Structure 1
Amino acid sequence: MTTHAVSVKRGINIELVSIVWMVIEAAVAIGSGMIAHSLSLVAFGADSIIELVAGAVLLWRLTIEAHGASLARVKSAEKASSWVVGIALLLLAVYIVIASIDKLVTLQGAETSFLGIGLAIASGIIMPYLSRAKKRIGSEIGSKALRADGSCSIVCAYMAWIVLVGVILTALLGWWWIDSIVALALVYYVVKEGREAIQEARGKADACGCGCHDD
């Protein structure tokens, strides 16, 4: 097996690990967020689901390369996936803004979520590791898509730490409004990922981010 083939196999393995974690992250974040009425946790989980879809498409692309098939037949599917991911992210951003404003106006706050705290800490530790691995392997096989997915993973880590600040402040100080403020802070990253995915779907050069799946 050539060095390139070994690196592609490593790329497949790291994507499998990433997908498994995204499933866990989405389930725990949305579940704990609904229990604690935490908009930031639910939004974090929804973003994980969208990243899961993007990761699955990239896994497909790597698997096809590993089997020696042409990548031409998956380009249309990759483009369609980028449109779906991009539009879903922008709709998620709109939901976060509307829900946050509603919660602030009606004085609705989140409850303490120790499960959410644990998840945010775990994501903040795991995602930087996955990011470094994806970028290293992406460089080895010349895959812009895998390197871009690595950038997406580090953004997920930033989001995790932002959520962590919110749930800790809620637990320690009981600030009812902090959850909505933290959720609004996530909008920047969600919109950025959404715009990059749509740029990739439109074939814009140098588009980079979670929606990038093309080399």
Structure 2
Amino acid sequence: MFTHIVSVKKGVSIELISILWMIVEAGMAIGAGLMAHSLALVAFGVDSIIELISGAVLLWHLTIEANGASLERVKRAERTSSWVVGIALLLLALYIVIASVDKLWTHQGAESSYLGIGLSIASGVIMPYLSRAKKRIGSEIGSKVLRADGSCSIVCAYMAWTVLAGVVLTALLGWWWIDSIAALALVYFVVKEGWEAIQEARGKEDACGCCHDDDCC
């Protein structure tokens, strides 16, 4: 029992680190995106804000579990959070598609963003580390939701690498259209996250948010 509580507290710590990074990531991505007129960076930042909602509820869940309290109230909050996150992500995907098509139609490109390059590299390195830690601790305490959140973290890394490709090509080659293409590439990840969140909100037993492997289901 003591070992379990210690592991849960480790889960609280890693989730807190994840939330703090999401705050930094969201602020820097949106700021860099607005300065460079980069739809991909702004979309990446908005996705980070939405993920903050889910992360905050999970942190609450782990904190209550660490204190040995009932989880019934948290379960209700998780359902509500899943609805909010799912709908917000699907709306974000719709916005990305409309804005990308508009930019391609009107030949609007993004400017070089070295801040965006640095942020994308940092996210691409940090998120896989957080993913492994969440999955390991989730396995130790038998927490499906923490393992699933670890899978979400690796999805964030995929998104960071996609954004990195766009901002690097913009800086090196000046392709006006590549930012919109990179933004459209994010739609797959955003829609998948949004649909899985809605499935969780509906109480689907096999819904495993952001899963890309079998060990979180």
Q: TM-score, normalised by structure 2?
A: 0.96
Deviation at 1:131, TM superposition (A): 0.1
Q: What amino acid is the match of 2:75?
A: K
Q: Offset of 1:188 from its aligned partner? A: 0.1
- Residues 1:63 and 2:63 aligned together: yes
Contact 1:51 1:210 in 2 (8 A): no
Aligned-pair Cα RMSD in Å: 1.2
Q: Which amino acid aligns with 1:33?
A: G
1:59-98 paired onto structure 2 within 5 Å: 59-98=59-98
CA contact (8 A) 2:192 2:210 kept: no
Aligned equivalent of 2:123? 123
Amino acid at match of 1:81: S
Counterpart in 2 of 1:107?
A: 107
Tell me the distance in 2 between the aligned counterparts of 1:176 and 1:208. Answer: 37
Kept in 2: contact 1:54–1:210 (CA 8 A)? no
Aligned partners of 2:106 and 2:5: how far apart in 1?
56
Residue ranges of structure 1 left out of the alignment (5+ in a row): none
Match of 1:15 in 2: 15
Q: Distance in 2 between matches of 1:76 and 1:53?
A: 14
SS of 1:111 mapped into structure 2: coil
Instruction: Encode CA deviations 1:128-147: one digit per residue, 9 max, x unaligned.
Output: 00000000000000000000
Task: Confirm whether residue 160 of structure 1 aligns to residue 160 of structure 2.
Answer: yes
Q: What aligned pairs does 1:27-38 form with structure 2 within 5 A after superposition?
A: 27-38=27-38
CA offset at residue 2 of structure 1? Answer: 1.0
> Per the alignment, in what secondary structure is the counterpart of residue 28 of structure 2?
helix
Distance 1:165 1:36 in 2: 15
C-alpha distance in 2 between matches for 1:208 and 1:40: 26
* Cα distance in 2 for residues equivalent to 1:192 and 1:20: 24
Give deviations 1:52-82, integer Å, cap 9, x for gaps.
1100000000000011111112211110000
Match of 2:206 in 1: 206
Aligned residues: 212
- Structure 2 gap ranges (5+): 212-216
- Residue 158 of structure 1, CA deviation: 0.3
1:149 & 1:55 partners in 2: Cα distance? 8
For residue 209 of structure 1, report the CA deviation from its aligned partner. 1.7
Letter aligned with residue 18 of structure 2: S
Post-superposition, which runs of at least 4 consecutive aligned residues in structure 1 deviate over 2 A? none
